[in-house]
Structure 1
Amino acid sequence: MTISILALISKHIKELLEFFKSTSFSKAVLIGVAVTIPIVLGILTQQFEIGLALCFGAFWCSPSDVSGRLKHKQIGILFSAVLVVVISFIGGYLNISNFLLFPILGILTFCIAFISIYGFRASLISFSGLLALVLSFAHTSENLEVYQYALCIGIGGIWYLTLSTLWYHINPKAQTEEALNETFLLTADFLDTRRQLIGEQPNRADLQNQLMTLQSDLTEHHETLREILILSRKSSGKSNYQSRRLLVFIQLIEMLETAVANPVNYDKMDLLFEKHPEFKTDFQNLIFEFSHQLRAIANTINKSKRFPSNNVLSQAIKTLENDILKFKDENYIEDYEHYLMLQNLLDYQIKQFEKLKKIKWLLGNPKLSSDDFIKNDKLRRFIDEQDYNPKLILRNFSFRSTIFKHSLRLAVVVMLGYGIGIFFDFQNPYWIILTIIVIMRPSYGLTKTRSKDRIIGTLIGAVLASGLVFLINNPYMYGAFGVLSLVIAFSMVQKNYKASATFITLSVIFIYAILQPDILKVIQFRVIDTIIGAALSYTAMRWLWPAWSFMEIGDHIKDSLKANTAFFKSISTYYQKKGNIPTSLKVNRKEAFLQTSNLSSAFQRMAQEPESKQNNIDDIYELVVINHSFLSSLASLSTYIQNHVTTEASEDFVIISDKINTNLDTVCSQLKVINFENQKTKTSTSKPDAFKFPVNSLTSDAISQTDSEHTHKEAHLIWEQLYWLYTLSEKMLKLTSRYTVD
């Protein structure tokens, strides 16, 4: 009992230390410094208005400071500074009649929110502009002219940019190390979930859903690391540190592909492991050790001497090899196919072992030769450039655009929220619209979750603050607690929004406790305003131009299928032509993983929406699973042909590949006219496909024509995967052909 308690305490202490070392915490401290210093200097120099304006400018520009290339961070913060200056200048003249104020407020909100069409970083710049717009209602400068106040806001933004750049140069490796560490841990979780899928499982569907979620998270981390490692390397040259981390990252990507590339025929695998449970145990132990070692490397990433030994993995692989040889001797004739399946399974695990050993070697800071470096022109193809064409505005200016509907919805709700605050003469009506812009997101599920967490967090914060303000009656203590609460709130906003809302509330109340004696009234209005803002946000997402996922899920399925098709064509071409592995194959692989991840995220959003809006969800789920299975099979083919010398592609391979491509192209064409919104399914009247896949005869022919076990393994894997791809393409074709088209 005592040991378990000590272990629990040790675990929490370790997590706390990791939190303090995280970039989220360091950024929160940076924000705390950026907003506190101008206020303190303003008070000391009796220029409080200037200090407050500098504080606002720094605070409003901080959201655009996210992980990525330094140049992109700087440009994002600079654009935020320009935007908040313009908004503050306009806001300075908004002291007009409500008759004119409401339409201007709505138009400005829409225009600022609409900036989000230019991607994730643009959405953060947009958020900075919205903060500046809302808080222009909270403070009106008494001693500064409007242009002076706006200029000070801009200087505050430059002040934050300077601090952020300085911190980056002080600790340039922080974001790389953290992103890489999280990628190690997610890869370990992915492998461990794969381990649980081995053998017959009553909850296989749940495990597969977990895999899809983990794969989506991994893909997001891969995109962040690509920007950090590839673009930073391009601008700073061939740094040994960046090159080693880039090579480690490449190994982690290939480990994910190899993990995905497990045999997809669970029926055959279950049957084998039921008869021979020792293989299930052996493979599970081996994969568990892989995940364990990845976690250990993540925890000691800069201490290579503390990495786990390779001996455990070597012994586990040796045990498997001996068991498989024993199986071959005992069941060679009657169960040769299962023997080949076991050998191919083992080959994949040996490849994983080689990748893990290379990761350990790279993290041991070896001296790299010129051959180890990857040319920038090849790497550049793995980065998706954001489209900043002005025509994007016109293309999104319609109700078919999710961002357009979100911007319009946000504008209406902001006007409504401010109107309620004015009509009922609330103490701080801008708190309502501040709650709205913080909570409301384009997706229903996230808005609903944030609304709930915001209300709970505010109530908890209000209760804690009510007790603390009675116990403490010192303005300096209020100030210290206010800044500390702000730092904690910002550091937790991505990890635990409920806790973040709690500390935001504490921070606001402590700051107001310095300015106003009747703090209980402030707490009361803070709670009421938050509840109104959250209720308006949720109501609007539910009934005002809702953007339900079923309206766009078809596009995500089509994009995923197109990416998988391009990946399959690259594999097929390379298998037929051989030679060096083309960069296009790796680029298409990356795009297939990315689009399949996007599809999983879209489906998860759909699953969070009301049941009445989950149109045709069973068929959509089946299409999502099929796309994932298709990618798994492609990964299996890709991994095998890139790591083995293969025989010449047969005419049957070409014929079957063409048939699969024809099916995929047909499915893509059908998806163009299916939106899953109002269309109903029908009984398929199409004739059965006359094409019959000769999987057994092809494998048997390949085995009978040669005594080479290597060729037998190739034939078994290639034809098994090709048959699975053909089956999946037929399933998709059958599913999509059931929908009527008006």
Structure 2
Amino acid sequence: MVKGRFSMLNNTIAVNFRELLQFLKSTDFSKAILVAVAVTVPILLGLYFDRLEIGLALCFGAFWSSPSDVSGSYRHKKIGILCSAALVVVVTFIGGYLDLNLFVLIPVLGLLTFTIAYLSVFGFRASLISFSGLLALVLSFAHELQNLEVYQYALFVGLGGLWYLFLAVVWHRINPTGEVEEVFTETYLLTAKFLHIRGRLIESNTKRDDLLSELQKIQVQLTENHDSLREMLIVSRKSSGQSMYNGKRLLVLTQLVEMLETAISNPVNYAKMDDIFSRHRGYMEMFQRLMFRISDQLEKIGHAGSDRRKLPNNRELKECVGRIKEEITKLRSIPKNENLEGFLMLQNLFEYQEKQVEMLRKIKWLLDDPKPEELELIDEEYARKFVALPDYDPKVLVQNFSFASSIFKHALRLAVTVMIGYGVGTIFEFQNPYWILLTIIIILRPSYGLTKARSKDRIIGTLIGGAIAFVIVSLVQNTYVFAVLGIASLVAAFSMLQRNYKTAATFITLSVIFIYGILRPDILTVIQFRILDTVVGAALSFLATLWLWPTWGFLNIAKNFEDSLRAHKNFLIEIGRFYSAKEKLLAPLRVTRKKAFVETSNLSSAFQQMVQEPRSKQRNIDEVYEFVALSHAFLASLASLSSYIQNHNTTEASEGFKSAIAQIGENMDRAMHSLAHEGENTDFSIKNLERSFEDNRSRFDTIAWDFENAVKTGKVRNLQEAYLILEQLRWLFSLSGKMLKLSSKI
């Protein structure tokens, strides 16, 4: 027993040590070091040469430009940092002349805040550039110029941005693949977790609803990671020419995407499987062992990094596959009709696992550095079709300038809250009113759930940081110690910003207090006002999400449904075209498949945001949940159909197949029409929808009966193909009908 506990302790220590090493090698930590160097060096040089004001300007410019340094293509990252530097120069120049009467200053501040925040309509990276501009605007209130003119100070701020860009470029030259490898590691681990949960789902005594909900969340994360990796690998190839490293990693990404989509395309009837496993004992353990081994190997690949010696071998997988294959062959040889259904289901499950094993072997082979002549690299033109680049057309600004746009409402909400925050801080003579503004622009997010979580984490983190700082200040009164602690806290804060915001807020508070401790003797007063300003800013942010043009989930969920239905319909039509075409063109099919997966993930994310909102704002939550579940089931069926026709030699598409696709598509069109015309008379709409669905059902049943009759009479060449496609079409038609009826209720 003691030995067992000792072994568990060793495992825990080993896991924690491995996580610590992963953290120290992460881009979050390296970027935090980069920011610390970028802000510290100018200040030290400014002190040494007695040009502290110039040092501070360079420090602020580097700090404000750093948010754009996020995952993505190297080219886009450099452009993002340059745009941030340019924006902060303009904002700093304007901010230098904001010494106005309070009643004039507050509206000007609101207008500038709205204008800068509104740039977020151009996408995620644009939102980070916008955030840099907001930081520059708020902190322009924190620094009064002594020796420099406003234009000189603004130019030095711009040079600070270029200084950070220089450091980012140097670091990329030193470690060009670090960011890509980190996202791959996370993707391996998430895929391993996804497949492990799939293995747990075949147990009869498990909580399947909870596990299926967790699968949907992981699928959203994986879809985001796949998109990030596509951008980093494909756009880099476009800008710097095709590299062997990017080509190989793109092939690895293709296998990971296929593993996820193969898993999704093989939905399991768990009730039927429980019955079969109860009659054929031992199979569940064998299958689960194989599924867990696949998951374990992906996890080991993730932890191996670039060390080829740590890649797992195939021996265990071969043993698991061989044993299951042998047992299924034995089952097939038993001449009993009651074994037929069990054999078919187990055989299908086995074939699905064989595909996963084969893709896993391919990943290990690619990571083992095969010779270039052994590879068949993906064509650049083909690959670029899978990258969704943001639209920077100025028309986007006009199109979003209305209350129908969530970004417009967020920019307006932020502007009004900043005006109120500055007014409160000035009228009640807070020590540092800009701290209130800083808290607002950091906490206030477009969604209620994220703003609420950030408000809570920010307040708790600030209180913890203030308490720790109070204890340290009470024991130590040394500026050099404060300087070291301030820099260390800054590194810790930036490295934890994306991982744990509460911890990041704690270290941000510590860094601010210690830096002020160097400049000002009354550090305890600083701690008090820091806490007070944070609480006021967090409270204003939270109240703003409730009262100022809130963007509740139920207001936009119909748009998410419509986008999901349209993507599914396009995928369905492309499946029909691929099945019917003589020339099999994979690109359109896979592009529409990718779009369907992305929109399904967006729908899941929208639902998760809706769940985090107040209960009074969760309209039709049961119907929404049902629609999300139906959307996932519909996508799984489409992916299954797509996978079959890509991997098998199929017969010519019959007229019945084409008619069935048309009927399913018509149901989806009517569902989209219902969602887009919510102002229509509901009773009339429901009656019309039900009548049209019944008409479609009767036509579909006729098609299905003709199709099935052709199978029974042997008029279809490939009976297995016909049965599989007929069952999938029936299931798709049933799901489309359910979504059609739900759309009229939501």
Give TM-score scaled by structure 1 length: 0.96
**Partner AA of 1:690 in structure 2:** S
In structure 2, the partner of 1:598 is 602
Mapped partners of 2:687, 2:342: distance in 1: 36
Match runs of 1:122-521 below 5 Å? 122-200=126-204, 203-330=207-334, 332-369=336-373, 372-521=376-525
Mapped partners of 1:500, 1:535: distance in 2: 19
Question: Displacement of 1:717 after TM fit?
Answer: 2.9
Mapped partners of 1:564, 1:54: distance in 2: 51
Mapped partners of 1:562, 1:392: distance in 2: 22
In structure 2, the partner of 1:737 is 744
Contact 1:455 1:534 in 2 (8 A): yes
**Partner AA of 1:244 in structure 2:** K
Match runs of 1:101-120 below 5 Å? 101-120=105-124
Mapped partners of 2:508, 2:182: distance in 1: 25
Mapped partners of 2:489, 2:460: distance in 1: 17
Q: Assess, with a 3 A threshold, how the Cα gap between structure 1 residues 696 and 341 changes in structure 2: closer, same or farther.
A: farther
Question: Displacement of 1:199 after TM fit?
Answer: 4.7
> How many percent of aligned residue pairs carry the same amino acid?
54
**Partner AA of 1:411 in structure 2:** A
Match runs of 1:503-652 below 5 Å? 503-577=507-581, 579-652=583-656
Q: Assess, with a 3 A threshold, how the Cα gap between structure 1 residues 295 and 712 changes in structure 2: closer, same or farther.
A: farther
In structure 1, the partner of 2:714 is 705
User: Does 2:711 match 1:690?
Assistant: no
SS of residue paired to 1:138: coil
Question: Displacement of 1:108 after TM fit?
Answer: 0.4
Q: Assess, with a 3 A threshold, how the Cα gap between structure 1 residues 702 and 292 changes in structure 2: closer, same or farther.
A: farther
Match runs of 1:664-679 below 5 Å? 664-674=668-678
Question: Displacement of 1:402 after TM fit?
Answer: 0.4
Contact 2:201 2:208 in 1 (8 A): yes
Question: Displacement of 1:323 after TM fit?
Answer: 2.3
Question: Displacement of 1:131 after TM fit?
Answer: 0.2
Instruction: Structure 2: give runs of 5+ residues left out of the alignment.
Output: none
**Partner AA of 2:552 in structure 1:** W
Mapped partners of 2:80, 2:296: distance in 1: 38
**Partner AA of 1:536 in structure 2:** L
Contact 1:186 1:214 in 2 (8 A): yes
Q: Assess, with a 3 A threshold, how the Cα gap between structure 1 residues 31 and 235 changes in structure 2: closer, same or farther.
A: same
Question: Displacement of 1:282 after TM fit?
Answer: 2.2
Give TM-score scaled by structure 2 length: 0.95
SS of residue paired to 1:231: helix
Q: Assess, with a 3 A threshold, how the Cα gap between structure 1 residues 614 and 588 changes in structure 2: closer, same or farther.
A: same
User: Does 2:726 match 1:722?
Assistant: no
Contact 1:630 1:725 in 2 (8 A): yes
Match runs of 1:78-93 below 5 Å? 78-93=82-97
Q: Assess, with a 3 A threshold, how the Cα gap between structure 1 residues 707 and 143 changes in structure 2: closer, same or farther.
A: closer
Partner deviation per Cα, 1:84-131 (whole Å, 9 max, x = no partner): 011111111111110111000000000000000000000000000000
Q: Assess, with a 3 A threshold, how the Cα gap between structure 1 residues 409 and 435 changes in structure 2: closer, same or farther.
A: same
Mapped partners of 2:658, 2:328: distance in 1: 33
**Partner AA of 1:437 in structure 2:** I
**Partner AA of 1:465 in structure 2:** A
Mapped partners of 1:331, 1:425: distance in 2: 89
Mapped partners of 1:371, 1:89: distance in 2: 54
User: Does 2:73 match 1:73?
Assistant: no
SS of residue paired to 2:282: helix
Mapped partners of 1:675, 1:533: distance in 2: 39
**Partner AA of 1:440 in structure 2:** L
Mapped partners of 1:320, 1:544: distance in 2: 60
Mapped partners of 1:319, 1:722: distance in 2: 34
Q: Assess, with a 3 A threshold, how the Cα gap between structure 1 residues 469 and 28 changes in structure 2: closer, same or farther.
A: same
Mapped partners of 1:485, 1:700: distance in 2: 73
Question: Displacement of 1:321 after TM fit?
Answer: 1.7
Question: Displacement of 1:261 after TM fit?
Answer: 1.2
Contact 1:340 1:712 in 2 (8 A): no
Query: Which of 27, 38, 61 is residue 42 of structure 2 equivalent to?
Result: 38
Mapped partners of 2:207, 2:561: distance in 1: 25
Bigger shift: residues 9-18 or 358-367: 9-18
Mapped partners of 1:276, 1:716: distance in 2: 25
Bigger shift: residues 20-29 or 202-211: 202-211
Mapped partners of 1:248, 1:493: distance in 2: 29
Contact 1:550 1:675 in 2 (8 A): no
Contact 1:341 1:716 in 2 (8 A): no
Contact 1:301 1:363 in 2 (8 A): no
Question: Displacement of 1:543 after TM fit?
Answer: 1.3
Contact 1:681 1:738 in 2 (8 A): no
Question: Displacement of 1:457 after TM fit?
Answer: 0.3
Mapped partners of 2:201, 2:147: distance in 1: 68
Query: Which of 8, 28, 31 is residue 24 of structure 1 equivalent to?
Result: 28
Partner deviation per Cα, 1:623-677 (whole Å, 9 max, x = no partner): 111111111111111122212222333333222222111111221221212389x
Q: Assess, with a 3 A threshold, how the Cα gap between structure 1 residues 313 and 674 changes in structure 2: closer, same or farther.
A: farther
Question: Displacement of 1:724 after TM fit?
Answer: 1.4
Q: Assess, with a 3 A threshold, how the Cα gap between structure 1 residues 610 and 670 changes in structure 2: closer, same or farther.
A: same
**Partner AA of 1:495 in structure 2:** R
SS of residue paired to 2:385: helix
Mapped partners of 1:265, 1:700: distance in 2: 26
Partner deviation per Cα, 1:11-69 (whole Å, 9 max, x = no partner): 11111111000000000000000000000000000000000000000000000111111
Instruction: Structure 1: give runs of 5+ residues left out of the alignment.
Output: none
Contact 1:664 1:729 in 2 (8 A): yes
Contact 1:188 1:290 in 2 (8 A): yes
What is the total number of aligned residue pairs between the two structures? 736
Contact 2:630 2:735 in 1 (8 A): yes
Question: Displacement of 1:156 after TM fit?
Answer: 0.4
Over aligned residues, Cα RMSD in angstroms?
2.1
Contact 1:56 1:153 in 2 (8 A): yes
Question: Displacement of 1:700 after TM fit?
Answer: 8.1
Mapped partners of 1:42, 1:625: distance in 2: 59
Contact 2:682 2:744 in 1 (8 A): no
Mapped partners of 2:683, 2:300: distance in 1: 51
